[in-house]
Structure formats: C-alpha cells, structure tokens
Amino acid sequence: MVGVVGLIVVMAVINLRSKKVTPQKETEEREARPTVEVVEEGVDPFPIKLARPERLVWQIGEKTDWPEKVKGLEITPKAIGQEEIVSFLGLVGMKTEQKVSENGELVVFEEGKKRSAYVDRNSMVLGFVENITSREQLKGEGEGSLLEGERVIKELAKKIGGMEVRVVARENKKLLYPRWVAAKPEEAEATEIRAVYVVDGYPLFSFTGELIKATITAKGRILKLEIGLGKKVETKEEVGVLGVEEIETLGVDKVWVWKKEGTLGFEGSDFEEKVSLVNVTEIEAVYIENGKGKAGIYLLGKGNGIIGKQPAKITIIVPIGR
C-alpha cells in the first residue's frame, strides 16, 4: 500500500501521455477533393490509429522557404542513466532517496501525497507531477518567473537529450480539478509549455507528439513536467519533399488528424465527434519518429476546424517525402 495515491497520479500522467510558414492575408481557398468516408486506420509506419477529416481546405498562400530536400534520419534511443535521473529530480526538488517502488520498467519517487516523480524506461520518459487539488495550493509560493522556469527546463532537456530544444507551443491554463483546462489570459493560473528537439533545423516529434511538456506558474513553480529522452540521430542520404503546389492538391485520403484542441467552453465529450472540417492556414516541415528507429519528413498543418458542431483548433500530419 506504500505510495498508492502518488502511484495512481503517476500512472495517470503516463497514460495521458521550424521553419514555420505564415499565411498571406489574401489567399484563395482551395478545398481538397475528393472527400471520402472518414475512417480510422493505422498511420504507416506509426503504431497508432488516427482518423481523417471529412473536409479539408488549404489556405496557406505562397511559400518562399519550403524545402526541396531534407536529410533522412536513423534514430537510436538513449538509455536513462543515473546522472539524468539525479539531474531531473534535482530540478523538481526531489531526491533519489524518495524512491518507493521499482519493477524494472517503472521507478516511482514520492514526497508523501504532495509530489511524485517517475522514470519510465519503456517509453524513455522522466516525469513529475505535483498533486494540486485546489487553487489554495497555488498561492504565495515561488520567487522566480515563467521565463526562468522555461529556461531551466530547456537547459535540462538539452543536457539530457544532447540536442537543441525549441518551444513550439504555450497555452494558458486554469485548474478545474482534476484537470487543467484552457483559460483566458486574465484567468490563467499556469502556462503549459510544449517543446521539441531540433535536428538539422527541423523539429523532431515523437509519433505521440512533443517530447517535452511542462506546466509552470507565473512565478516559475513547476507543477508538471515530462521529458522524453533525446535520441542518437544519424543523418542519411537526402530525400525529396513534395512541393507546396503538390500538397495543395492532396485530398483527405492523404491526411490524418493528429491533435484536436477545444476552444474555451468546449465540451470534452465533443472530442469523440468526427472532424467535419479543417481549414489549414499554417504549415511547417517536421520530422516525426515512428518508434522503430526511423524518422520521416511530414507536413504539420494547423488551422481552425469543426468537431461535431463545435469550433476547434486542428493539427494534421501528411507524409511528404518522395
């Protein structure tokens, strides 16, 4: 029964587990054809299933810096060593002496019922969570700043991963126990930061998303942190990339919905609905690791869309290597 509460929190965390191009203001909408029946299927070669949108509109304008070729990548996972564990625990104010369980793949550390950390050797992730159950726990602590908290996390991730780190998203959050939900700036109690490693100038994602995630208060207090271990990356021969004009001819049968983010007031159950429309207004070329030692080049597209009858922010991925 030792550490049951903290272990439950940790397991919940585990389970939940650029070149950017800005659109021109005046761009002709191009609706991708043909539309097809929405299906959920495996994304070759990813070990996951994703759905396709019902309708797709490209509205991305003229590009001047879209790549013609990129380097192929071969990836070898790094092992989690004791030095990485000590550095991680030190950042979140914990110690190796607080270990409460270990089963070979998962090591759990606890500070009573207040905080928990874990080492997941299977998914190669170091994680931490503070058990915040009320807003009262967020008051009066911390002398730093959000920027300082972000800086030290990036430095640790770079040290652990051995690669440059780039923040790709920041989102205001407020506590609606047991979840952190999207918030207006004036309501924000913390900021969620998502970051990636960078290879040859391009972001490197796992097939599950960003490898580095954190929730930090305005005073720099780390409430939640996950750092996916960096990889040993070897570059291979260059591969060709689809041009933008070719991409704009692709229909929904070539596109997968990767992320769905509800706007403020979005009903959680609506995430089960189909993506009936996505209007892609921003694209970038990224590497996505398939979990099997390879990383392909993909288009990562963002825009507004509709889930059921609700507006939402949608992220799609499209393989663009020739």
In tens, the pLDDT along 1-10 reads 444 444 444 4
Q: What digits encode the pLDDT tens for the residues 69-103? A: 999 888 887 788 899 999 999 999 999 999 999 99
**pLDDT at 212 > cutoff 70:** yes
Determine contact, residues 105/123, Cβ cutoff 8 Å.
no
Q: Which of 105, 119, 72 is nearest to 290 (CA)?
A: 72
At residue 75, the 3 state secondary structure works out as strand
**pLDDT of 269:** 45
Q: Look at 28-37, 125-134, 262-271 and tell me which has the smallest mean pLDDT.
A: 28-37
Percentage with pLDDT > 90 across the chain: 45
Q: State how far the Cα of 80 lies from the Cα of 82, in Å rounded to an integer.
A: 7
Neighbours of 229 (CB within 10 A): 23
- Most confident of the following: 40-54, 237-251, 264-278, 289-303: 237-251
Q: State how far the Cα of 42 lies from the Cα of 285, in Å rounded to an integer.
A: 21
Q: What digits encode the pLDDT tens for the residues 267-313? A: 444 456 789 999 999 999 999 987 777 888 999 999 999 987 888 88
For strand 310-319 and strand 256-262, is the pairing parallel, antiparallel, or unpaired?
Answer: antiparallel
**pLDDT of 226:** 95
**pLDDT of 141:** 59
Q: State how far the Cα of 285 lies from the Cα of 280, in Å rounded to an integer.
A: 14
Q: Where are the domains of the chain?
A: 19-73+237-319, 79-229
**pLDDT at 34 > cutoff 60:** no
The alpha carbon of residue 22 and the mean position of all alpha carbons in its chain are separated, in whole angstroms, by 21
CA angle 201, 237, 67 (to 5 degrees): 40
Determine contact, residues 318/255, Cβ cutoff 8 Å.
yes
**pLDDT of 263:** 57
pTM for the full predicted model: 0.80
**pLDDT at 24 > cutoff 70:** no
More confident residue, 263 or 106: 106
Output the DSSP codes for 128-171.
EEE---SGGGGSS--SS-HHHHHHHHHHHHHHHHSSEEEEEEEE
Determine contact, residues 6/21, Cβ cutoff 8 Å.
no
Query: 262 to each of 170, 229, 300, 309, how far by Cα in Å?
Result: 15, 29, 18, 12
**Structure confidence at residue 55 as a pLDDT band (50, 70, 90):** very high
Which one is the CATH code of 79-229: 2.60.40, 3.30.310, 3.40.50, 3.90.550?
3.30.310
At residue 267, the 3 state secondary structure works out as coil
